Amino acid sequence: MRTREHGALGDSRRYIPSRHITTVPVEMASHFQIFTIFVFLILNIMKPIFWRKGRFPLKMIVSDLLEDVICTASANAERFIKNTKYTTFTYGERQMTSILAPAFHIHTDGMILEYPSTRKRGVKNHPARADFYCYCHNGLKDYRIFVELKSGYQVLPLTNGFDNVNTYLYEQACDDIRGLINEVRGANRDFYSGVPVVRVGMVAIPLFSSGEDDDIKIDGKKIVKEASKQFTYRSPDMDCNLIGYWKVDKRLRESFKQEWEGDNCTLQGILYVCHIMESITV
């Protein structure tokens, strides 16, 4: 067994049922829609719950894309659990990337991990690496997405809300994507000329129950509602505007093996809290 480093940091408001379960005529469906329908209907995987707010150019398009990514990442996580009986992807940011990266590859026209970029910190620019850089086309125009990912850890029940470490990681992700404005408008502006660029901060929070609470009833809608309150900030540069929650099926939870030394907890689901910034064009 390995030891988990617990201290490591690595429109309107509404609940939206997954749109991927809607029947779509085959002649109208994209390959991505067909793929997602197959995953969630044929393989009978628990579909995530989504919540979103805000309206601005490309917001709906990027929100739809991220929902697709979260659904496919959930399918990747479930397949990993079924085949290995472990939940290693919850260990940290790098491990969480292993289920998200294939999903970004499927739902975009191209994706690069650790994309070399320039980030402003204070008054100076510094070399940086964006976690995900995606080429996208929505049928009308090209656009680009930068995503900064952080991975947290939360034990249920949410008696006192989400732990401070999770809000810290979310704020750090938002700070990182704000700093990427100098990548787009600075020395490399010609490269991005005429193409809208959307920056996304995301924190993935695996939710665990402690040993004696493994059978507690988890209300996904209440978890999402609590997150929508706690990750709401007065600053528009921090406000969460997309949340997704994937709940692990009970039969799947019963198949887990104890992986981390000293832990006596069970994965209940993964919460994705996102801040999608308004697009910038140069």
Stretch among 10-19, 57-66, 134-143 having the lowest mean pLDDT:
10-19
d(CA 194, CA 255): 50
Identify the sign of the CA torsion 66, 72, 76, 82: positive
Q: If you average pLDDT over residues 28-44, what whole number do you get?
A: 48
The alpha-carbon radius of gyration of the chain (Å, integer) is 19
Q: What is the pLDDT of residues 43-65, one digit of tens each?
A: 455 689 999 999 998 999 999 99
Q: Which helix (H) or strand (E) holds 230?
A: helix 220-230
Residue 4 confidence (pLDDT): 43
Q: What is the pLDDT of residues 248-264, one digit of tens each?
A: 988 888 888 766 655 67
What percentage of residues in the chain have a pLDDT greater than 90?
A: 56
d(CA 88, CA 131): 20
Residue 272 burial (CB count, 10 A): 26
d(CA 92, CA 199): 22
Residue 213 confidence (pLDDT): 53
Specify the pTM. 0.83
Residue 51 confidence (pLDDT): 96
CB environment 69-87: b (16+ within 10 A), e (fewer): bbbbbbbbbbebbeeeebb
Distance of CA 151 to the CA centre of its chain: 9
pLDDT category, 169, cuts 50, 70, 90? very high
Q: Which helix (H) or strand (E) holds 187?
A: none
pLDDT category, 83, cuts 50, 70, 90? very high
Residue 216 confidence (pLDDT): 57
Contact 243, 274 (CB under 8 A): yes
**Confidence check: pLDDT of 226 > 90:** yes
Q: What is the pLDDT of residues 89-110, one digit of tens each?
A: 999 999 999 999 999 999 999 9
Greater confidence, 33 or 167? 167
Q: What is the pLDDT of residues 115-132, one digit of tens each?
A: 998 887 666 777 889 999
pLDDT category, 23, cuts 50, 70, 90? very low
Residues with Cβ within 8 Å of 3's Cβ and at least 6 positions away in sequence, in order, are 260, 261, 262
Stretch among 9-18, 194-203, 208-217, 256-265 having the lowest mean pLDDT:
9-18
Residue 186 confidence (pLDDT): 86
Residue 35 confidence (pLDDT): 52
Average pLDDT across the chain, whole number: 82
Q: Sort residue 152 into left (φ over 0), alpha (ψ -120 to 50) or beta.
A: beta
